[in-house]
Amino acid sequence: MRSPGVRGFAAVLVCSLILASFLGPRLAADPFIRGDGNADGSINMTDVISTLSFLFLGGAAPVCQDAADTDDNGLVQLTDAIYTLNFLFSGGAQPPAPWPGCGEDPGEDKLGCADFPPCAGARPVILGDANCDGVVDEDDGEMIRDHVTMGLELCCRAAADATGDGIVNVNDAVRILNVLIDAEPIPVDCDSED
């Protein structure tokens, strides 16, 4: 006859194994850009084509399934290609985070991202820190103004895009001056220099 301690341990072990198999393993999570299914650093028609090729023509699986999951529903399917087409050509919703810069998937799903070369050299910065000095202040708003009016180069487009709309313009400077100064710092990955 087994002792009560062994039975309790066995019950906990069996329950843990059942729970682990139900939840499934989460794959390694590298930074990526949502919607860039072919991992070339930009969202365009080639992402739609690669997703459709994978789904219907036996094409190569995306190297970063999280990136190919444009609608962030936890699956790579036809709706991802449709979502991307609507975003590109019909004024549809932007892809969920991480977009437009590199980042990790904020949601929990079984997809993963084992490799995403465009984000390999990403460096973390603070949202709104347009001059990359580590602080969000009036200088950042002035930097964006000078970028828009005189073409001044930015150290990090993802940090300067404070509104997250994929465009660095006066709206970003207004958001920095009115909202982000003295706010809790929000880290973003700087994936490209302007």
Q: Is 102 left (phi over 0), alpha (psi -120 to 50) or beta?
A: beta
d(C-alpha 156, C-alpha 100), whole Å: 12
Q: Each residue of 168-194: pLDDT tens digit? A: 888 888 888 887 766 666 777 675 544
In a domain, 158, yes or no: yes
In a domain, 29, yes or no: no
Alpha-carbon dihedral angle through residues 142, 147, 152, 153, given to the nearest 10 degrees: 110
**Which domain does 69 fall in, by range?**
45-119
Please choose, from the candidates 80, 90, 94, 92, the residue with its C-alpha nearest in 3D space to the C-alpha of residue 52.
80
Amino acid at the residue 130: A
Domain stop point among 67, 94, 119: 119
- Please tell me what DSSP assigns to residue 100: S
* Together in a domain, 92 and 49: yes
Domain stop point among 66, 97, 119: 119
Q: Each residue of 67-110: pLDDT tens digit? A: 999 999 999 999 999 999 998 889 899 999 888 878 888 888 88
Which span out of 26-35, 48-57, 98-107, 162-171 was modeled with the highest average pLDDT?
48-57
Domain stop point among 87, 119, 151: 119
Cβ-Cβ contacts under 8 Å for 42 (sequence gap 6 or more) = 36
Q: Name the residue with tokens 């609608």.
A: 71
Judge whether 166 and 94 are in contact, CB under 8 Å. yes
* Together in a domain, 66 and 53: yes
